[in-house]
Amino acid sequence: MIRHIRRLRPALGTFVEITASAALPDSRIERAVEAAYRDMAQVEYLMSFHAVDSELSRLNRAHFPITVHPWTARVLCLAKKITLESAHRFNPTIGGALVELGKLPDHGCEFIPAGSADDLEVLGLKVRRRRAVLITLDGIAKGYAVDRAIARLRQLGITQAVVNAGGDWRCYGAPQAINLAKALGGTTLGALQNGACATSAAGLDCERYPAQLMAQQKIIAHGHWTVIAPQAWRADALTKVASASAPDQAAAWVQKLGGELLSSSHVGTEALNHPRNQMAYHVG
């Protein structure tokens, strides 16, 4: 018999819901869900900009190479890679600009507003900053946490699951509806199977999407972007790529980097309701 468990907890700066199903005893499903939450907590502990004692904050203070956890090194490598591949539309070095705006906490270290991928060097588990940039991983780390949770659930025998961390979620097994939040129009964009979805927004719903989007060190005052991709880290990163692209280039950039732009503030109501967007997606 297939058993189902759904749990909701505060994590990753939001509420994270895990739905897990398997032909296993409830106790084993519960243990799998607990393990998934622990993995997400570990990612948050390592990569939080807000926590002064996180590994990321230690990197942002260091004037010399430091050794980091393999997960931190992995996310930093992913961030640098997609920065280069997106022609710097994605940029993890804008932490200083966000501190100046009061959007991120000031931990008292010297910094410049922003830099480039060249300012971040990752050699195995050794990481250093070439200049006093402040690295912020924000949504990409949250997406990676969702990916780690999904991997843990699979490893522990869960046959169907959804991990939903606010604007970032990933599923496998049965298809899941892709619904925009009410603040973004409440549109259903189709169904997703074995893939991830992320939405980033600016100037709309500050409680659901509190992060500040920036492009070329300028605030993006208004808009929203929803992307699907095989992994949650990639889907989240590509919402930033879309937001930093010209409206007529955003979809092409997202597709080039391994995702699909389903919805944006540049798409009118007529286009959103087009039958092409009322379909099923299988991306992984």
- Which tokens hold the place of 74? 């992995």
Residue 213 has a pLDDT of 57
- In three-state secondary structure terms, 77 is helix
- Report d(CA 251, CA 71) in Å as an integer: 29
CB 65 within 8 A of CB 220: no
What residue ranges define each of the domains in the chain, with the CATH number in brackets? 1-49+144-173 (3.10.520.10), 55-136 (1.10.3980.10), 175-282 (no CATH)
CB 152 within 8 A of CB 36: yes
Residue 50 has a pLDDT of 95
Residue 32's H or E segment, with its range, is: helix 26-47
Residue 123's H or E segment, with its range, is: strand 120-123
- Which tokens hold the place of 108? 């008292």
Residue 180 has a pLDDT of 74
- Report d(CA 71, CA 239) in Å as an integer: 22
Q: What amino acid is encoded at 241 in this protein?
A: V
Residue 280 has a pLDDT of 53
- In three-state secondary structure terms, 162 is strand
- Which tokens hold the place of 160? 């169907």
- Report d(CA 155, CA 150) in Å as an integer: 9
pLDDT tens-digit map of 19-73? 999 999 999 999 999 999 999 999 999 999 999 999 999 999 999 999 999 999 9
- Which tokens hold the place of 45? 């502990």
The alpha carbon of 252 is separated from its chain's Cα centroid by a whole number of angstroms, namely 20
- In three-state secondary structure terms, 204 is coil
The mean of the pLDDT values for the chain is 87
- Which tokens hold the place of 231? 């992994």
Residue 221 has a pLDDT of 47
- Which tokens hold the place of 134? 């402040």
CB 39 within 8 A of CB 149: yes
- Report d(CA 131, CA 200) in Å as an integer: 28
Low-confidence ranges of the chain (pLDDT < 70): 182-186, 202-222, 266-284
CB 32 within 8 A of CB 153: yes
Closest residue by Cα to residue 146 from 169, 167, 126: 169
